[in-house]
Amino acid sequence: MPRTFPYQLSDRLFVLGDNLFLTYLLRGETCALIDLAASGTVPLIRKQLRHLAIDDGAIENLVIQHAHWDHVGALPYLREAFPRATVLGSEKAREVLGKTKIVDQFRQNDERWCSRLRDTGVFGELPDFLSYPSIAVDRIIRDNETLSLGGIPVEVLATPGHSACSVSLHLPTEDTVLASDAVGFYLPESDDFLPMFFQSVGLTLASISRLEALGVATLGYGHSLDLLVRGKAAVSHALRRLRERTREFARTIQEMADAGAPEGDLLAAVHRLSYRDFLAELYLPDYLQAVSPYLLKAILSADRAAATTGNAQRGFASDGRDTTSTRTLFSPSRGMR
Ligand SMILES: [Zn+2]
């Protein structure tokens, strides 16, 4: 049965937005919006909040999970709608969102993709686009910190690998972890995955293990309500498969590279696995072609790091580099028609 919005996960946790871009609502004594999507979802989020009889004044916190355009695009609009709300994000997210050039690219991507999605009928009305030179983060959230959002405890887990600024949020009272894009996406129909390790394969594997250790009953992502994982056994299986498939995929590409496959073939293999499911609904193929080099680099640079440190488990060392601001990944000049 298709899931509709607002989608209730527990007494106090709801999913808002559109199936392509999810925002979570945590309703305690006050409310928090978590993972802040693209601007095109703002009219939907506001309508869904009204449907839940939540006053604008009840929104106290806006929580960034990572600083990519499709996860902060709505933020300037939500800040305007809820001026009393505090914006929370990791230190690295604050760094990225303070950089005018990057924020300008994010803004252009947000406007262009949201306009395209309106043209294709995904979005109805769009907000009047705002111009903003940077996106302020009011409060830094740190690894292992326990926040109280409207009186509900929320543990912050640094889960890099997709980007250096990624955090997952563990909600013990709701038996849930919200991972945004940190660990990739498990595809239940094919028992396969969508790779998302733009920063590092090794760090992604460590982040997956960290979420596995929580043993929660719900795994929420930043995209596709259809992919939401429910039930402890299902979450455990999804995370185990994400770990296995991430490792296998990196190994396959590495073996192709070792056998002398040209870069074009390696990129085509990465693209074949990436351009599926909601990513194929959201993007045109050439956008994913533009980001494939980052997945490839994360695989091949891990191998080089392993070789130089003499690490026997080649291909999976983590380099820990900060590639959050990876320019062309978000360049509006590429992948747009
Ligand atoms: Zn995303």
Q: Which domains can be identified in the chain, with CATH numbers?
A: 7-244 (3.60.15.10), 248-330 (no CATH)
Distance from the alpha carbon of residue 181 to the mean position of ligand 1, in angstroms: 6
Prior bond of 6 cis (ω within 30°): yes
- What's the pLDDT at 28? 98
Environment of ion ligand 1 (residues, CB < 5 A): 70, 181, 222
Long-range (24+ apart) CB contacts under 8 A made by 209-215 are: 209/243, 210/157, 210/159, 210/168, 211/157, 211/159, 211/168, 211/177, 211/179, 211/182, 211/183, 211/239, 212/236, 212/239, 212/240, 212/243, 214/170, 214/177
Distance from the alpha carbon of residue 245 to the mean position of ligand 1, in angstroms: 19
DSSP three-state, residue 102: helix
Looking at the DSSP bridge assignments, the partners of residue 326 are: none
- What's the pLDDT at 303? 60
User: Distance between CA atoms of 330 and 66, rounded to whole angstroms?
Assistant: 14
Distance from the alpha carbon of residue 56 to the mean position of ligand 1, in angstroms: 26
- What's the pLDDT at 302? 76
- What's the pLDDT at 304? 60
Q: With contact defined as beta carbons under 8 Å apart, do 165 and 93 qualify?
A: yes
Distance of CA 12 to the CA centre of its chain: 22
Distance from the alpha carbon of residue 104 to the mean position of ligand 1, in angstroms: 18
User: Distance between CA atoms of 196 and 178, rounded to whole angstroms?
Assistant: 16
Which residues, including other chains, have CB under 8 Å from residue 202's CB and lie 6 or more apart? 161, 302, 316, 317, 318, 319
Closest by Cα among 220, 204, 62 to 141: 62
Distance from the alpha carbon of residue 50 to the mean position of ligand 1, in angstroms: 26
Looking at the DSSP bridge assignments, the partners of residue 187 are: 192
What dihedral angle (degrees, nearest 10) is formed by the CA atoms of 3, 7, 13, 18?
Answer: 90
Distance from the alpha carbon of residue 307 to the mean position of ligand 1, in angstroms: 31
From first to last of the 337 residues of the chain, give the pLDDT tens digit.
668 999 999 999 999 999 999 999 999 999 999 999 999 999 999 999 999 999 999 999 999 999 999 999 999 999 999 999 999 999 999 999 999 999 999 999 999 999 999 999 999 999 999 999 999 999 999 999 999 999 999 999 999 999 999 999 999 999 999 999 999 999 999 999 999 999 999 999 999 999 999 999 999 999 999 999 999 999 999 999 999 999 999 999 999 999 999 999 999 999 999 898 989 888 888 888 888 999 999 999 876 655 444 433 333 333 334 444 444 344 433 333 2
Distance from the alpha carbon of residue 70 to the mean position of ligand 1, in angstroms: 5
Q: Name the percent of the chain in helix, strand, coil, to the closest 5.
A: 45, 20, 40
Centre a 10 Å sphere on the Cβ of residue 232 and count the other Cβ atoms it contains: 13
- What's the pLDDT at 1? 62
Closest by Cα among 259, 257, 337, 235 to 303: 257
User: For the residues of 23-77, what is the DSSP string, one character each?
Assistant: EEEEESSSEEEES---GGGHHHHHHHHHHTT--GGGEEEEE-S--SHHHHTTHHH
Structure-token match 């740190």, residue found: 142
- What's the pLDDT at 281? 87
User: Distance between CA atoms of 293 and 305, rounded to whole angstroms?
Assistant: 18
Distance from the alpha carbon of residue 222 to the mean position of ligand 1, in angstroms: 6
Q: With contact defined as beta carbons under 8 Å apart, do 87 and 137 qualify?
A: yes
- What's the pLDDT at 102? 97
DSSP 127: P
DSSP three-state, residue 168: strand
Residue 180 Ramachandran class (φ > 0 left, ψ -120 to 50 alpha, else beta) = left
Q: With contact defined as beta carbons under 8 Å apart, do 89 and 137 qualify?
A: yes
User: Distance between CA atoms of 81 and 56, rounded to whole angstroms?
Assistant: 7
- What's the pLDDT at 306? 55
